[in-house]
Amino acid sequence: MEIHIVADAEAGARVVADVFARTLREAAVAGEEGRGAVLGLATGSSPVPAYQELIRRHREEGLSFAGSRAFLLDEYVGLPAGHPQSYHRFIREQFTSHVDIDDAAVLSPDGAAADPRAEAAAYDMRIREAGGVDLQILGIGANGHIAFNEPSSSLASRTRVIGLTRRTVEDNARYFDSPQDVPVRALSQGLGTILEARRIVLTASGENKAEAVAQMLEGPISARWPATALQLHGDVTVVVDEAAASRLELADYYRHLRRLDEEHPVTATA
């Protein structure tokens, strides 16, 4: 893993946006004409600063998402696409409607599907049919969940219906008029689905995420902390602020590695 400990959310957003920009450039060079990157998009508060930075780069620097496709990580069961708290609506309001990606190319699970389990399987297949995700952005929950993969999730799990823990429901209650309105189930990409992305970037901030970040980076791989599954992936960038990094035992080493990259970059030899 490539670990960046940054001063604040703005600094972290620049690192995340750099990973997006690199992925978009690579797709433009390697892909077929008119075909961009396949992006995996997360909702919630953690990725919003990165989305704002990407919107700025699109408007001011010409960063283009033309030809790209996107798949959302998850959606609440029972919420139609137009619901104010649906992730379908969130990603458009916070990100995709502000850049040059075709709205029809931004896909999310159908939370209002008559058969949620069949919808989950179909959504997993749509990701595969698209050739897989080139870059997946993730946040992390205080209990170590990524997407809605709560503790006890199988490391090989696929997109499925998940029951949410009380803690997750309580954490998400701030987005709803009352706690009783918070859905208790979600459609979510599984850990196995997420690990098939070619590149992953995870961003976190705040002391309430510190234990989850420490377990993810330095703890044993365990279904108790689902994010530890990322240790099995070969291309993960983790971007955390000082508060979220406060329980890392090897924080000084991670900072040392970033200084080495800046002062003594590894370059290809002829």
* Cβ atoms of 228 and 164 closer than 8 Å: no
**Tell me, what amino acid is at 96?**
T
Classify strands 74-76 and 185-188 as parallel, antiparallel or unpaired: antiparallel
Name residue 39's beta-bridge partners. Answer: 70, 135
Catalytic residues: 74, 143, 145, 150
Measured CA to CA, the distance from residue 178 to residue 200 in angstroms comes to 34
Measured CA to CA, the distance from residue 139 to residue 132 in angstroms comes to 20
Let me know if 186 is exposed, middle or buried by CB neighbors in 10 A (0-12, 13-18, 19+): buried
Q: Taking Cα atoms as reference points, which of 48, 90, 86, 89 lies closest to residue 183?
A: 86
Tallying the residues shown for the chain, one arrives at 270
Classify strands 199-204 and 135-138 as parallel, antiparallel or unpaired: parallel
The terminus-to-terminus CA distance of the chain in angstroms comes to 27
